[in-house]
Amino acid sequence: MTVVVLHGAVADGSGMDEQDVLVEVETVCQALAALGHRPVPVPLSLDLGVAIESLHRLQPRFAFNLVESVAGKGSLIALGPMTLDFLNIPFTGASADATYLTSNKPLAKRIMTLEGIDTPPWLAVEENPPGPVAPGRYILKSVWEHASIGIDERSVLYADGAAALRQALRLRRETIGGPCFAEAYVEGREFNLSLLADEKDPRVLPPAEILFENFPPGKLRLVDYRAKWDTDSFEYRQTPRCFRFPDADADLLASLRRIALRCWEVFRLRGYGRVDFRVDGDGRPWVLEVNTNPCLSPDAGFLAAAGEAGLGITDVVARICADLP
């Protein structure tokens, strides 16, 4: 049975985050083959006709959607599921609507706020906040890009109000690579909660905390681009993932699980997903973002969490495929 593995085309000279997509494709193809499918990778570029012609020719039973960006732009992430919808090909993972709503971070934060899910206050250039913007530290982020693209220590600044933040956003826009927004910086612990479809309800995989080991005083505890991708950097080496917690964290972990499941419900996720948190000094969790398409590379967080639950890549891919609409 032919299964297309749809992914964003990777150009020569692309960054480490984009190159990792090819590792992810190979990993998923091996798992699909182990499940008895005939996987065929199909890259998606701005020349949609090429991919559409391949999909017509292959007539796949379904598509495994791994599109995280198109032409290097995260803002085009929904082109993958939208193209598959157009061709009436079933596909794994979240719908085009859920993909769009969660990938536009300010829009996702607005929805979370309306649904009573705590997310740090934010400001985008074009927005008029309902009240005064509190002075404090903010982190400037891309509206669309994921994988900490454009984030480093220069992304965090102190601002005394909306005007200063808007000016900082305008100056930072080119460095970040497009539209950006400011989010209140939460000093505290960082957690990732991975979710996987199960027979009836989604299953929350073991929570992971990102540790900040040996960070000197004054250095921001930040999972920036170097921490995710630059294997020779201090930030990469000193931010290991931890799955072991003291009993004192039991209530906090239960709260994180509840909120992650609530995000799954609110955004109507399918297959798999991941919710990223910061927890402030008072133990209050804040959702940073919801990822409908977390990386499935062997060294990525999702498969690490699955491994803690005794699940291998073939188990994970089988459950994602079983949650096809």
Query: CB 289: neighbour CB atoms within 10 A?
Result: 19
Query: Of 75-79, 110-114, 129-133, where does mean pLDDT reach its minimum?
Result: 129-133
- Confidence check: pLDDT of 144 > 90: no
Provide the pLDDT confidence category of residue 257 given band limits of 50, 70 and 90.
very high
Provide the pLDDT confidence category of residue 185 given band limits of 50, 70 and 90.
very high
CA distance 18 to 11: 9
Do you know the residue count of the chain? 325
Predicted pLDDT of residue 199 = 86
Query: 262-277, pLDDT tens digit by residue?
Result: 999 999 999 999 999 9
Provide the pLDDT confidence category of residue 232 given band limits of 50, 70 and 90.
confident
Residue with the bigger pLDDT between 285 and 325: it is 285
Provide the pLDDT confidence category of residue 134 given band limits of 50, 70 and 90.
confident
Provide the pLDDT confidence category of residue 245 given band limits of 50, 70 and 90.
very high
Query: 274-307, pLDDT tens digit by residue?
Result: 999 999 999 999 999 999 999 999 999 999 999 9
Predicted pLDDT of residue 131 = 67
**Helix boundaries (H) for the chain:** 16-34, 48-58, 79-86, 96-103, 105-114, 162-176, 225-229, 234-237, 250-266, 301-308, 313-322
Mean predicted confidence (pLDDT) in 28-43 = 98
Residue 257 corresponds to which tokens in the numbers above? Answer: 């699980």
Integer CA distances (angstroms), 135 to 44, 129, 163, 316, in order: 43, 14, 11, 44
CA distance 269 to 94: 5
Predicted pLDDT of residue 128 = 67
Provide the pLDDT confidence category of residue 224 given band limits of 50, 70 and 90.
confident
Task: Please give the helix or strand (H or E) that residue 129 lies within, else none.
Answer: none
CA distance 198 to 323: 8
Predicted pLDDT of residue 275 = 98
Mean predicted confidence (pLDDT) in 49-65 = 97
Mean predicted confidence (pLDDT) in 60-84 = 95
Provide the pLDDT confidence category of residue 129 given band limits of 50, 70 and 90.
low
**Angle, to 10 degrees, between the axis of helix 301-308 and the axis of helix 313-322?**
100
Give the amino acid at 149. I
Query: 87-107, pLDDT tens digit by residue?
Result: 999 999 999 999 999 999 999
Query: CB 159: neighbour CB atoms within 10 A?
Result: 22
Integer CA distances (angstroms), 256 to 11, 52, 115, 195, in order: 38, 40, 16, 12
Predicted pLDDT of residue 126 = 72
Predicted pLDDT of residue 145 = 78
Write down the mean pLDDT value for the chain.
92
Of 5, 14, 146, 161, residue with least CA distance to 74: 146
Mean predicted confidence (pLDDT) in 115-125 = 92
- Confidence check: pLDDT of 313 > 70: yes
Predicted pLDDT of residue 155 = 86
Mean predicted confidence (pLDDT) in 176-200 = 92
With 0.75 as the threshold, say if the pTM is over it: yes
What share of the chain in percent tops pLDDT 90? 73
Predicted pLDDT of residue 130 = 63
